[in-house]
């Protein structure tokens, strides 16, 4: 049981490049979400999904897309990276009491 | 939407003393309040949570209190130890059934001084 996994661990992009952050969970959780963590700003919700085929925007969705074709996978796409998207990104899945976080992806946009 | 404020942003206490972190929330429909601990370079992990039908919950050295009328809840750590040094986040949600968003506070960096 691997829990929530994320790839890559680290990534450096140039402004304007696109990329996909991968997230997978093997706990059969319906609810998955993406957060970004910036110093002094806590964990801010980017997008979330309550099940396969269903996604919705969180607090800071601009510049990001998501899809949920399976229960297990919830990738986050950066369409055209900007320096303001430099952050640590956490994927999470949740069922009832506890939200489980992935190990995070540290993204730097130059 | 929900807004969660957390204070203080940093807190230093002597080893063995108690630490208290406070959060307020805005959505009166929120009824689930978890606390997460994040050690340096690691992912956040749930340490304790409370639902709106109880006013206090304890787990060894950690306790959480909830005042629904005032819309605030607090984390209490007693007999602090060096391994308690971390960033702590409070959060609020309308449901503990996993289908509602969690809104997080901005975090408190707790440092335990040996």
* Region B53-81 average pLDDT: 95
Q: Provide the pLDDT for residue B97.
A: 63
Q: Provide the pLDDT for residue A39.
A: 84
Report the gap between the CA of A28 and the closest CA in chain B (Å).
12
Search chain A and give the residue with CA nearest B35. Answer: A98
Backbone phi, psi, residue B37, to 5°:
-115, 135
* Region A61-86 average pLDDT: 97
| E strands in chain B | 4-7, 10-14, 19-25, 32-38, 45-51, 56-59, 62-67, 72-77, 86-92, 103-104, 108-113
Cα separation, B52 vs A89, whole angstroms: 30
**Interface contacts A/B by beta carbons within 8 Å:** 55
Residues of A in contact with B9 (CB under 8 A): 40
Q: Are B46 and B59 in contact (CB under 8 A)?
A: no
Higher confidence at residue B53 or residue A9? A9
Q: Please say if the pLDDT value at position B50 is more than 90.
A: yes
Of A40, A90, A95, the CB nearest to B98: A95
Residues of B in contact with A90 (CB under 8 A): 43-44
- Nearest-Å Rg of the Cα atoms of chain A is 13
Cα separation, A42 vs B88, whole angstroms: 10
Cα separation, A58 vs A46, whole angstroms: 5
Cα separation, A78 vs A19, whole angstroms: 5
Cα separation, A46 vs B3, whole angstroms: 15
Pick from A45, A84, A105, A10: which is nearest to B89 by CA? A45
Strands A87-95 and A98-101: antiparallel
Taking CB atoms and an 8 Å limit, are B104 and A33 in contact across chains? no
Residues of B in contact with A42 (CB under 8 A): 6, 89, 104-107
* Region B54-65 average pLDDT: 94
Report the gap between the CA of A17 and the closest CA in chain B (Å).
26
Search chain B and give the residue with CA nearest A99. Answer: B46
Of A41, A50, A102, the CB nearest to B43: A102
Pick from A93, A110, A81, A98: which is nearest to A35 by CA? A93
Higher confidence at residue B98 or residue B36? B36
Which single residue is written with the structure tokens 């900007």?
A: A82
Q: Please say if the pLDDT value at position B99 is more than 80.
A: no
């Amino acid at each position: 049981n691997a829990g929530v996994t994320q790839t890559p661990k680290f990534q450096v992009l140039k402004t304007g490049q696109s990329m996909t952050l991968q997230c997978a969970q093997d706990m059969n959780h319906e609810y998955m979400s993406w957060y970004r963590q910036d110093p002094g700003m806590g964990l801010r919700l980017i997008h979330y999904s309550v099940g396969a085929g269903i996604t919705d925007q969180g607090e800071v969705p601009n510049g990001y897309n998501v899809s949920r074709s399976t229960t297990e996978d919830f990738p986050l796409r950066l369409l055209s990276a900007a320096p303001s998207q430099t952050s640590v990104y956490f994927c999470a899945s949740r069922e009832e009491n506890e939200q489980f976080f992935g190990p995070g992806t540290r993204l730097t946009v130059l | 939407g929900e807004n969660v404020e957390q204070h203080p942003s940093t807190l230093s206490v002597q080893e063995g003393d108690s630490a208290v972190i406070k959060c307020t929330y805005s959505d009166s429909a929120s009824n689930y309040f978890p606390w997460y601990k994040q050690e340096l370079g690691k992912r956040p992990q749930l340490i304790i949570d409370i639902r709106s039908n109880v006013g206090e919950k304890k787990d060894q050295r950690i306790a959480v209190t909830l005042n629904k009328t005032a819309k605030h809840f607090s984390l209490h750590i007693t007999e602090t130890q060096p391994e308690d040094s971390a960033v702590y986040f409070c959060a609020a949600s309308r449901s503990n059934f996993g289908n509602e968003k969690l809104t997080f506070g901005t975090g408190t960096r707790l440092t335990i001084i040996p």
